[in-house]
Amino acid sequence: MEEQRVRISDIAEELGLSTATVSNVIHGKTKKISEETQKRVMALLEEKQYIPSMAGILLAQNSSRIIGVFINDHEKYEGHTLDDFFISSSLNFLSTEIEASGQFMMVKKTKSVEDIIKFASMWNMDGIVVIGFCGQDYRYLRSHMRIPFAIYDGYCEKPERIVNITIDNYDGGFQIGSWLREHGHKRGLCISDNNICVDLERMEGFRAGFCPGKTGFLQVPMQKDQRWLFYKEHLDHIRSVTAIFAVSDYYAIELIRFLNENGIAVPEEISVAGFDDIPLCEMIFPTLTSVRQDGALRAKIAIEKLRDLKETESTETEIRLPVRLVVRDSTG
């Protein structure tokens, strides 16, 4: 037979105390409770192996010590949002920093900013990190809640009371474009599933570095099976260039596979570069040229700035981290 869980009322009854007194001892509210009573309560709690509800304790305090991480469950992930390398690595780095600060991480995928407001308030979160939404979403969040939050990889112009931690996407694209131009490329192509926000910054940098007016753009479908057909339909366009910049390593690696299967040698006929420098860049053939960002530093700054906002309500709101080009075999 399963052993019944010990309740606060059981402890209170055995000691001849009120449930409020026992509850206050558990929650650390002991200013009006004698030291002797505290010792009696704690001794019996230990003897009975009482297991408190951590959620209840945290919610009862002024600080829940919960940092929420909300991720845009975008259709492009096709139901595998947490499998995306940028998302999974970001969660790993954030988890390390949050644990080191003595806090707890709670993760939720959502397409709705209303969900963010609801869950952040429900759990009395100390702060939140938001990944993958856009400017109007962040402005809406700011106008509808007071909880400190950091934009981790989104796009927000002139953030007010928001910590906007981004990387220099424009410079990353510029570094790739410049390197390819300096190595003799004159016809380039950008590949993305959109033409806004972060991807737009990366492509604008690439165009400026490569040579204005000498780059094309293909907006690929978000669904993987549709992209393969799309590439086949635009094969002549793809063959007409000597260098392709994909705004993410995922798209770059997929494109290299397509080129190989269609008899186009990389980098002999077409050079390919990506962005993010995921570990897979060094495992494929040819190894992929990419732009590296410091995920550990971004996580560290995010948690530090959330603490600053909670304690002082003021901190640096616009933080742009540098990136670095890593040249490998896919660009010769």
Taking only the tens place, the pLDDT of each residue in 109-135 is: 999 999 999 999 888 899 999 998 888
Q: Which structural domain, as residue segments, surrounds residue 33?
A: 8-52
Structure tokens at 176: 């790739």
Whether 173 and 317 share a structural domain: no
Whether 176 and 163 share a structural domain: no
Confidence of residue 204 (pLDDT cuts 50, 70, 90): very high
**What average pLDDT does range 52-59 have in this prediction?**
61
CATH number of the domain at 178, please: 3.40.50.2300
Whether 160 and 300 share a structural domain: yes
pLDDT tens track for 2-55: 456 788 999 999 999 999 999 888 877 888 899 999 999 989 988 888 876 655
End-to-end CA distance of the chain: 69
**Residue 74's pLDDT is what?**
87
How many Å apart are CA 99 and CA 142, to the nearest integer? 26
Whether 164 and 80 share a structural domain: yes
CATH number of the domain at 26, please: 1.10.260
**Residue 56's pLDDT is what?**
61
More confident residue, 237 or 29: 237
Whether 223 and 301 share a structural domain: no
Alpha helices in the chain (DSSP H): 8-15, 19-26, 35-47, 54-60, 85-100, 113-122, 135-144, 169-182, 197-210, 224-233, 235-239, 249-261, 295-312
Whether 164 and 312 share a structural domain: yes
Whether 113 and 217 share a structural domain: no
Whether 240 and 207 share a structural domain: yes
Average pLDDT across the chain, whole number: 90
**Residue 55's pLDDT is what?**
58
In a domain, 58, yes or no: no
Backbone φ and ψ for 329, nearest 5 degrees, come out as -70, -25
More confident residue, 198 or 267: 267
Confidence of residue 84 (pLDDT cuts 50, 70, 90): confident
107-113-118-121 Cα dihedral, nearest 10 degrees: 70
Which residue in 103, 102, 105 sits closest to 90, CA to CA?
Answer: 105
Backbone φ and ψ for 272, nearest 5 degrees, come out as -130, 135
Number of domains in the chain: 3
State percent of the chain over pLDDT 90.
66
Reduce the DSSP state of residue 189 to 3 states and report it: strand
pLDDT tens track for 323-332: 999 999 999 9
Whether 180 and 285 share a structural domain: yes
Whether 283 and 192 share a structural domain: yes
**What average pLDDT does range 277-302 have in this prediction?**
95
Whether 130 and 265 share a structural domain: no
In a domain, 85, yes or no: yes
In a domain, 60, yes or no: no
How many Å apart are CA 131 and CA 82, to the nearest integer? 12
In a domain, 136, yes or no: yes
Reduce the DSSP state of residue 293 to 3 states and report it: coil
**Residue 286's pLDDT is what?**
98
In a domain, 162, yes or no: yes
**Residue 268's pLDDT is what?**
97
pLDDT of residue 159 exceeding 70, the answer is no
Residue 203: count other Cβ atoms within 10 Å of its Cβ.
22
How many Å apart are CA 220 and CA 194, to the nearest integer? 8
pLDDT of residue 302 exceeding 70, the answer is yes
In a domain, 106, yes or no: yes
**What average pLDDT does range 170-192 have in this prediction?**
97
**Residue 253's pLDDT is what?**
96
What does the longest C-alpha to C-alpha distance in the chain come to?
86
Reduce the DSSP state of residue 101 to 3 states and report it: coil
**Residue 1's pLDDT is what?**
37
In a domain, 38, yes or no: yes
Whether 178 and 284 share a structural domain: yes
In a domain, 161, yes or no: yes
How many Å apart are CA 60 and CA 26, to the nearest integer? 11
